[in-house]
Structure 1
């Protein structure tokens, strides 16, 4: 029995020793990049996330290639032999903001969110791209605040009423109805639970983001639920839920896109083609605070 126990322990240690630990960093700031998507290719594709410190472990002897993806960074393809302990991702260039000197007090306008018609739970590992365009012909209009309503509680008796989940949000310019340059330095991480506020608020008053008919993208990455150690759990239904309506706003034009976080070709799907559950309720609900400066 002791001999069998020794053999099993030896096999376990041998298999564990073949795994290597790696950490992902920003090549400019040298800060860890949390929850990056790892796509491993061997006989079949296997996908998973690094943890909140950008750490992951892998058996290099059993893979042909590895790709690392993270919002706001260029994708990185690595051969297993080139895999080092520290991995650096190159950030996409952030759109430079102008230094503007203003004399007059700006005019503030709040675009209130429409009434909620549909609550939709994003599937884990999914990305939501919301193209927000200004219907009004307004010059010198800037975004100060973005308001995203959420439903943070479940009223189902079959689901746990407590949870911890993590969402990654980034802002991009619009380049021919696809993600353009980043408008903020790095993604914003939101940790949500059943006691969180009923909205996600993003203060961009210092970013000088122009709001015109070309518009901008809000990109939301639903990473999923996390455990007490900062690792993602494999749950099919994740809260909070996001809100949609079939009503159009008189102020903004909304186009909603979806894709999987691990999508290697980067193809987005329009919301109406993504899931039959929408039933026409494809306008993502947001609120904005704008400031307009007179010439």
Structure 2
């Protein structure tokens, strides 16, 4: 077959299906804006990848006519899908252009302490991650000594409830899931401003240990006097090169009352626990404009199987360097 004809057919197929790959760039530096949030305005959405690219396909999202793009440190961008271009520029917020937070690393002796994670292997006591939710855990600062984070200790469960029923081989089903980590100040008991605009991500696979030790020492995160929140957020599955796959992040199920959108759940699962007395876990809906953090309890979250079983907290732990007072 004539090669020009093949190229023509391929181009026609892409056009018919409304394919559009868009790159988000910083309007000042021209650099990609990694992992920006692209909301549909209805509680659903997707993320740009490490290179600031995202794919919007009318065939997949036929009922979406507007996009709301947001990223930490940038002004929000609202546009109609009919005007979507291959490149969009995000403007940095003017009040953050000259903001540079410099924290000198303490010198002298220190000791490493560990806030132990709480783990378990019960599928029915786990949070099923979806990209619509971000989970933050509060860690108080109990004294005035400088504290520098070295590792985040993340309990995970890589397999589902049917793993033990697969026969003698018990082969694990492969997956590769990208998570983003963020650090927030304590704002009157809720996650406030971010402590760093650095890109901090990790990938979990079927071979990741039950407690994943994520090294964050290179980012020089110091615990403020009022404590801090550490959050994790699923970005989606990746390819073999660690790039986000442009899969649809929810399923549409037809019912008698109409079409219901059900968010896709991703492995690994996150064990929740009732072994922590304080309520220190917060959640938010990332694709709802103006989304607010809420405490994970029955007052704010209705019809939660975890809360019905008194499982109020994600059992995240930390390792940190604690320095003597200077």
Tell me by how many angstroms 1:67 deviates: 0.8
Tell me by how many angstroms 1:64 deviates: 5.7
Spell out, residue by residue over 1:3-45, the C-alpha distance to the aligned partner (whole angstroms, 9 max, x if none): xxxxxx8xx669539654421134566443444332346xx78
Within the candidate set 198, 212, 222, 2:210 is matched to 198
Q: In the aligned structure 2, how far is the partner of 1:216 from the partner of 1:109?
A: 16
Q: Is the 8 A contact 1:133 1:254 kept in 2?
A: no
**Which residue of structure 2 aligns with residue 5 of structure 1?**
none
Q: What secondary structure does 1:277 align onto? A: helix
**Which residue of structure 1 aligns with residue 271 of structure 2?**
243
Q: Does 1:141 pair with 2:141?
A: no
**Which residue of structure 1 aligns with residue 245 of structure 2?**
231
Q: In the aligned structure 1, how far is the partner of 2:102 from the partner of 2:279?
A: 24
Spell out, residue by residue over 1:144-176, the C-alpha distance to the aligned partner (whole angstroms, 9 max, x if none): 222112112334158982222221211122223
In the alignment, structure 1 segments of 5+ residues that lack a partner are 1-8
Q: What secondary structure does 1:166 align onto? A: strand
TM-score, scaled to structure 1: 0.75
Q: Is the 8 A contact 1:126 1:260 kept in 2?
A: yes
**Which residue of structure 2 aligns with residue 106 of structure 1?**
110
**Which residue of structure 1 aligns with residue 79 of structure 2?**
79
Residues 127 and 14 of structure 1: CA distance in aligned 2, closer, same or farther (over 3 Å):
closer
**Which residue of structure 2 aligns with residue 185 of structure 1?**
197
Q: What secondary structure does 2:297 align onto? A: helix
Most deviating of 138-147 and 79-88: 79-88
Q: Does 1:131 pair with 2:138?
A: yes
Q: Is the 8 A contact 1:138 1:212 kept in 2?
A: no
Tell me by how many angstroms 1:96 deviates: 0.9
**Which residue of structure 1 aligns with residue 318 of structure 2?**
288
**Which residue of structure 1 aligns with residue 46 of structure 2?**
48
Q: Does 1:259 pair with 2:284?
A: yes
Alpha-carbon RMSD across the aligned residues, in angstroms, is 3.7
Task: Give the aligned length.
Answer: 278
Most deviating of 156-165 and 179-188: 156-165
Tell me by how many angstroms 1:51 deviates: 4.7
Tell me by how many angstroms 1:55 deviates: 2.9
Q: In the aligned structure 2, how far is the partner of 1:45 from the partner of 1:243?
A: 25
**Which residue of structure 1 aligns with residue 177 of structure 2?**
165
Residues 115 and 153 of structure 1: CA distance in aligned 2, closer, same or farther (over 3 Å):
closer
Q: Is the 8 A contact 2:43 2:132 kept in 1?
A: no
Q: In the aligned structure 1, how far is the partner of 2:14 from the partner of 2:117?
A: 57
Q: Is the 8 A contact 2:180 2:233 kept in 1?
A: yes
